[in-house]
Each structure stands twice: as structure tokens, then as C-alpha cells.
Amino acid sequence: MSSRPPRCRHYDPEMTSHPAIPSTAPEPDFHALRELVAGDMREMDKLIQKCLHSDVGLIDQLGHYIVNSGGKRLRPVLLLLISRHFNYTGNQHINLAAIIEFIHTATLLHDDVVDASLLRRGRATANQRWGNEASVLVGDFLYSRAFQMMIETDSMRVMSILADATNVIAEGEVQQLMNRHDPDTTEARYLEVIRNKTAKLFEAAGQLAAVICNRPEHEEKALAAYGAHLGTAFQLIDDALDYSATSSELGKNIGDDLAEGKPTLPLLYAMWHGTEFQAATIRTAIEQGGLENIEEIRQAIESSGAIAYTSALARAEAHKAERALTDLQPTIYLDALHALARFAIERNY
């Protein structure tokens, strides 16, 4: 059976007015941030649904399940906010937002198989419902569909940025696999995984928005830096929440990282700064995986100040993200980008 890609690039932009978000808002409301680009998000969703179509029924079923599972879609929101900040009037911001969401979704499908995850965003993972084989293959479909859509942009620069980002993300996945069950993982190695595996697609989203808006090189670099620091802050908080939030808040099982033997920063810091007994317990947990001593480990993480340390690093990254925006002209969308950096570190989910 053939599943030719639909013509996904043609789009009539929906221009809408948006409410302003004060830059001094103490607790950023992510739903309000998304509302600024609500029209663009609706058009992106339409494009995603169109480009998800396949004559193969399982692809349709599984693809729609994971894409429509209620994620924050931070990366597309980032790209769309920057595009609106520069008054972009073309259609490629919608196409690129959809491409980035496809790439991200493909990584989630593959991640859940590698990690044997059972819960994501409060729902059973695709691999739990349909099996590992289907999840991997549909992830491959989403990757290949994203590259078909890249061709539709008719821009070698865009394709180069996305191809490079996808390759770096794959390297980050392998680096994370190499660190698994290794209690001697350093903070530098941990951060390198974050920057490659998570932050790179945020970075690409910021850079691509600048590229399609024909911004000068210094602004392109600034927005790429904004995305990279935002993505790093976001992942640091994710890793802290794995030991400080509840399953209902987080949408996944608490302690998943520990069960998989992932040496995330809260674990490593508690091992470095806890008692000898705590350090030995955490070292064994990382080496063997499992949740047998999860309560003792959570107490060690809390008493050692590991959450506070991880959060402080996240705040530093969010501050760097905001500093990257210094030379941009004020708009409600720039206020939203600042608020997005604050949301990344103040959220509890």
C-alpha cells in the first residue's frame, strides 16, 4: 500500500488578535501563553492531522493517540511566539511547528520503548497499548513524514538545521543509554545528555523562527541560545519533579528514572552529599535499577538539598535564556517568551 505525503505546505494563515501578558506576572499561566498563538496552534493541529494520515490503519490509530495525548507543545509554541514577535506573514511557521512536533513525538515513542515506560501524560504509553514493535515503527513513520515535510519548505538552510538537530538528539539518546546504571556519571556528562537530547530541539525551534523571519545572524544566534537554555532548564526541572511531584501532577510514574537506573542530577547530588549509607544505597539503586528503596532515596534527596541544587541550576539556565532576549524590541510576544522561561522553572507538572 502506498502512503504518499499530502501536500502539507499550503495554508491560509488565520490572523487573530491576542491579549497581552504582563512581563511582571509572578506565576506565568502557560494556557495564557498558548492563547497568544491560539490561531496558529489550531492551524498547526489541522496540518498535523492531515499529515498523520496513512493508508495503514495502525499508523493512523497509534499516531493520533500519541499526538493527541495532551502534551504542552512547548517547542511549537516557542517557534510561533518568535514568528509573531517579528510579524511573520508567511506560512512556514505553521509547517515548521508541525515538523518539530512530529520529531518530538517520534522521540517520545522511541524513548518509551527504550525505557519500558508504562505511563506518559497520565495515559498508558503507546508501547503499553500496542507493543514495542508498533511503537518503534510508527516513530520511524513520524520521523520520515517530518523529513518529507521539510522538503516542502524548499529551504536547504531549514533542512540543514533540522537534520543536524535530529542527529544530535539521536546522539543524546545513545549518550543517555551509555550513562544508564553508571553511578560514576559526572555532572558534565549529565548536562551534555540534556543539551543534546532535550535542549537541541528547543534550540532548533528558536533558530528556525529567526531564519524564516530573515533576521540578522546575531538575532538568530540569540534565539537559538534562548531555546537551548530554555530546554535545559525545562529538563532540569523535569528531573527534579521525578522525586518531588506526585504521579497525578507529573503524568507519569514517580521514580521512573530510578527504576531505569538513570543517574539524573538529583540522584547524583544526593549520592555526593548524603551520608555514607545514603550514598551506598543510591549507588546500588543506579547500578541495579528498581524502586526497592525509593522512600529512603527520596529522603536522601530531600535532606541533601539535591532538589534545591537542581532547581538553582534550572533558574540559572532560565536567566541565561531571558538574557539572550535583551536586544529584541518589546512586544507582547517578547513578554511571553520571558514568561515561558519562568514557567519552565516554576511549574509543578
Model confidence pLDDT, tens digit, residues 165-175: 999 999 999 99
Taking residue 67's Cβ as centre, other Cβ atoms within 10 Å add up to 21
Residue 252: per-residue pLDDT: 53
Point out which residues pair with 120 in neighbouring strands.
123
Looking at residue 245, the DSSP 8-state letter turns out to be S
Of 15-19, 270-274, 292-296, which range is least confident?
15-19
Q: Give residue-wise pLDDT tens across range 198-247.
A: 999 999 999 999 999 999 999 999 999 999 999 999 999 999 998 886 55
Q: Give residue-wise pLDDT tens across range 296-331.
A: 999 999 999 999 999 999 999 999 999 999 999 999
**Average per-residue pLDDT in the chain?**
87
The mean pLDDT value for 262-268 works out to: 95
Question: Between 16 and 78, where is the model more confident?
Answer: 78
Residues 31 and 15: their CA atoms lie apart, in Å, by 19
Q: Per-residue pLDDT for 248 more than 80? A: no
Residues 105 and 48: their CA atoms lie apart, in Å, by 11
Q: Give residue-wise pLDDT tens across range 71-127.
A: 789 999 999 999 999 999 999 999 999 999 999 999 988 888 887 777 766 677 877
Cell numbers that stand for 31 in this block: 494556557
Rounded to 5°, the CA angle 99-214-45 comes to: 25
Kindly report the pTM of this predicted structure: 0.87
Rounded (10°) angle between helices 92-115 and 38-52: 60
Q: Per-residue pLDDT for 22 more than 60? A: no
**CATH number of the domain at 30-346, please?**
1.10.600.10
Residues 283 and 232: their CA atoms lie apart, in Å, by 25
Residue 245: per-residue pLDDT: 65
Q: Per-residue pLDDT for 142 more than 60? A: yes
Residues 111 and 89: their CA atoms lie apart, in Å, by 36
Q: What is the dihedral of CA 56, 58, 60, 63, to 10 degrees?
A: -130
Question: Residue 248: which of 127, 121, 73 has the closest Cα?
Answer: 121
Residue 130: per-residue pLDDT: 80
Residues 249 and 251: their CA atoms lie apart, in Å, by 6
Residue 324: per-residue pLDDT: 98
Q: Per-residue pLDDT for 16 more than 60? A: no
Assess contact for 222 and 324: CB atoms under 8 A.
yes
Q: Per-residue pLDDT for 17 more than 80? A: no
Q: Give residue-wise pLDDT tens across range 28-74.
A: 788 899 999 999 999 999 999 899 888 888 888 888 787 777 678 99
Residues 95 and 117: their CA atoms lie apart, in Å, by 30
Would you list the domain boundaries of the chain?
30-346
Residue 19: per-residue pLDDT: 36
Residue 64: per-residue pLDDT: 78
Residue 25: per-residue pLDDT: 44
